[in-house]
Structure formats: C-alpha cells, structure tokens
Amino acid sequence: MFGWATLSTRRPASRLPTPVPEDHVSNGQRNSVVLGPKDRLVGQLFIEGDLRVAGTVEGELEATGDIEIAGGGKVNGQVTAYNRLVVGRDASLIAGDVRVGRLTVEDGATFSGRVSMGKHSVEAPKPVEAPKPVEAPQAIEPEPIPVPEPTPEPQPVVATKVVVAQQSKPIQKPTQKPTPQKGKRR
Amino acid sequence: MDVQDAVAEGTASAENGEIKRDGKKQFQMGPGDILEGKLIYDGSVHADGRVEGELRVTGNIDVANGANVKALLEASNVSVKGAVEGQVTARDKLTLGRNGRLSGDVQVRRLQIDDGATMNGHVRMGDFEHQASGQ
C-alpha cells in the first residue's frame, strides 16, 4: 500500500516500483521474514510484514510491521519500523535514523542513532514527499526517478541564501534562478 | 560557581527533602515541589513535581511518574518514568520506563527502553570520559 509508495519515492536509483497484487495484502496472513544468525544482508530491504534479524545487516531496513533485532543480530544502517522495533540484549543497532512507532531496547543492547517515534514520524518519513500524489499513479509512470533529482539541487542553495543574506549581500539570489537549466554556461 | 545553586519553591526545602540512604545523600522531591535553576549535588536526586534547569549529580537521578522535567540531566544512572525534555547523560545506565517520555539527545553507556516509552532524540552509546562535564 503506502509502503510501496514510500519506498519508491525514497529509492530513486535502484528499482522501479513493483505493483503489489491486491490479494497479497488482503489474505489476512502477515508476512514474516527471518534472517538467521548466519545470514548476512548488504543493501536495502523492504518487508510488508514483520522482520526478525539475528544475522548481520549493512544497509536500510524497512518493515510495515515489527522489526526485531535478536540474538547476536547486528544492524548497521537506517531502520524504519511502522509498528514496533525491538533491540534484544545481545543485539546491536548502529543507525543514522531510527523511525519507529514503538521502541523497546533491552538492557545490554548496543544502540545508537537518532530516534523519531510515533506513527506520524513513520508514515510521513520526509515532509517533502507528503504532497506527492498517491501510490496509484506512481506504479504506472516510470518517470518519477529523474524528476526529483534536479529539484533537490536548488534547495540547499535556498538554505544557503538565507544564511548568506544575513551575513552579507544576497549574491546567490540571481544565481539561483538560472540554475534549473543544466550545466553552467560561460 | 560549583556550589549548590538551587532555588526551591513549594512545600519542601532542600533540608526537608534530603534524606540519607545507605550513607548516600538523597535529594527527595514530592509531586508538588518545584525546582528551578542549577543543582550540583553529591548524592542522588528523586525528581518529582516540576524541574527546570540543570541537574548534575554524582549518584542517580530518578524522574518520578507524573514529574515534568525540562532540564539537562547528568548522573550515573538515570531512570525516567515521567516526562523529560532536555539533554541526558548517564555515565552508566539510562532506563526509560513504560510511561516515560524523553525528548532530547542522550549519551549513555547502557540503555534500556521499556515498551510503551516514548523517545525522540539522538542516542550515543559508549565511553565518554571527555564528556564528563557536559556541553
């Protein structure tokens, strides 16, 4: 559902959004994936359901249900659990961002990262993407990948502009308008 | 000024609130008490009521259920059962109870978050000798 929309908007590079068959969602059974102690994942993983990690993960994890890092599980990377995240006593989570609905960290666990908690922080991961259209059009058009690329470019400039404007003159202002055309002309 | 520098309003004064436990001093607050300012204390603090400012103690800080703390906290062990807003440094362990709410950056050696607790902020874990005096 919205999970795929989120995923596709957040992963510009590697993949096109895969349409999910309706019955996959509505068969009532919750999907559950387990990475055992000898398993290892490098990259990104999105699970519609629950995820249990006892192995090693380097990369991003996202699940619409619960994520449990158990046993000697080690996760190095961003983690998003729409419902609940559990970090077990022998487990380790070193993350940039941790977005969860609920969080349990057991004593003895290794845990570092920036925690954002509550349903709102999980379902709208990035405020910029909030006004984006619903998931249906995105599944159809394969276009959205290149489109976001140019847009972020001026944004830092705008931020800099505000700071610079306070310090000195707003030199950036005229420069910023022509930026949309790619490549600098001289 | 590294002496005790606290302004206590409300029903209990520092003297009334101070009890001895196991030979260690304990600064005990009640639900109606208010502490505003900076307290540097050789012992433990049971924070209840309302606290605003800064608490640096050699022992433990215990934030009671229902307490409202907007302060920088530094202690060996910090236990949060109420609401805390501010930077927290636990030289040993930080415990967030099931009703605990913590909003702020956290530096700890050990961390326990119970289910039901709310936490928003950056967690750093590990040894931090250099950080002992805080930022």
Contacts of B80 (CB under 8 A, 6+ apart): B63, B88, B94, B95, B96, B97, B100, B101, B102, B117
Task: Establish if A53 belongs to a structural domain.
Answer: yes
Q: Look at residue A169 in the predicted model and tell me its pLDDT.
A: 44
DSSP A132-145: S--HHHHHH-STTT
Candidates A68, A90, A99, A112, partner chain B, best to mutate (most B CBs within 10 A): A112
Nearest to A17 by CA among A58, A53, A46, A37: A46
The number of C-beta contacts closer than 8 angstroms across A and B is 44
Query: A105 or A167, which is more confident?
Result: A105
Question: 3-state DSSP call for residue A11?
Answer: coil
Burial (CB < 10 A; 0-12, 13-18, 19+), residue B130, is: exposed
State whether A154 and A76 are in the same domain: no
Does B34 fall in a domain?
yes
Query: Which residue in A104, A106, A112 is closest to B123 by CB distance?
Result: A112
Q: Specify whether A161 is located in the same domain as A117.
A: no
Beta carbons of B121 and A106 less than 8 Å apart: no
Is residue A19 located within the same domain as residue A99?
yes
Interface subset of B 77-106, CB within 8 angstroms of A:
93, 95
pLDDT of residue A140: 52
- The pLDDT score that the predictor gives to residue B24 is 79
Residue A112 three-state SS = strand
More confident site: A164 or B97: B97
Q: pLDDT tens digit string along A131-160?
A: 445 555 544 555 555 555 454 444 444 444
Torsion angles phi and psi, residue A109, rounded to 5: -70, 155
Contacts 24+ apart (CB under 8 A), A63-67: A64/A3, A65/A30, A65/A31, A65/A32, A67/A100
Could you tell me if A117 and A161 lie in one domain? no
Per-residue model confidence (pLDDT) at position A96: 86
Residue A73's pLDDT is 95
**Does residue A145 lie within any of the structural domains?**
no
- pLDDT for A122 beyond 80: no
In a domain, B135, yes or no: no
Q: Does the residue A30 lie in any domain?
A: yes
CB contact B115 to A (< 8 Å) = yes
Confirm whether B132 is domain-assigned. no
Q: Do A84 and A36 reside in the same domain of the chain?
A: yes
| Segments forming the whole domain that contains residue A80 | 2-140
pLDDT single digits (tens) B53-79: 999 999 999 999 999 999 999 999 999
Nearest CA in chain B to A111: B125
| Helix, strand, or coil (residue A5) | helix
B7 touches chain A (CB under 8 A): no
Same domain as A182, residue A130? no
Residues A120 and A91 occupy one common structural domain: yes
In this predicted structure, the answer to whether residue B130 has a pLDDT above a threshold of 80 is no
User: Which residues from B are below 8 Å from A67, CB to CB?
Assistant: none
Question: What end-to-end distance do the CA atoms of chain B give, in Å?
Answer: 16
The tally of domains found in chain A comes to: 2
Q: Which of B116, B117, B122 sits opposite A114 (nearest CB)?
A: B122
Nearest-by-Cβ selection for B111 from A102, A111, A116: A111
Q: Which residues, including other chains, have CB under 8 Å from residue A126's CB and lie 6 or more apart?
A: A10
Helices (H), chain A: 2-10, 22-26, 119-123, 135-140, 154-167, 172-176
In a domain, residue B133? The reply is no
Q: What are the CA-CA distances from residue B127 to residues A38, B7, B68 (Å)? A: 29, 33, 28
Domain that holds residue B118: 5-127
Task: Indicate whether A39 belongs to any domain.
Answer: yes
* pLDDT value, residue B17: 58
Chain-wide mean pLDDT for chain B?
Answer: 84
Cα separation values, B99 from A116, A134, B65, Å: 17, 36, 7
Q: Classify residue B31: in a domain, yes or no.
A: yes
pTM of the model: 0.65
Q: Which residues of A touch B (CB under 8 A)?
A: 84, 102-118
Whether A100 and A55 map to the same domain: the answer is: yes
β-strands B118-125, A110-117 pairing? antiparallel
pLDDT single digits (tens) A43-62: 999 999 999 999 999 999 99
Pair (A128, A186) in one structural domain = no
pLDDT score of A28: 59
Number of domains in chain B: 1
Return the residue of B nearest to A110 by Cα: B125
Same domain? A156 vs A68:
no
**Residues A31, A49 contacting (CB under 8 angstroms):** yes
Query: What is the structure's pLDDT at B20?
Result: 65
Interchain contact, A117 vs B120, CB within 8 Å: yes
**Contact: A113, B122; criterion CB under 8 Å:** yes
A37 shares its domain with A117: yes
Shared domain for A36 and A59, answered yes or no, is yes
Please say whether the beta carbons of B105 and B125 come within 8 A: no
Convert A84-110 to b/e letters by CB count within 10 Å (16 or more is b). Answer: bbbbbebbbbebebbbbbbbbbbeebb
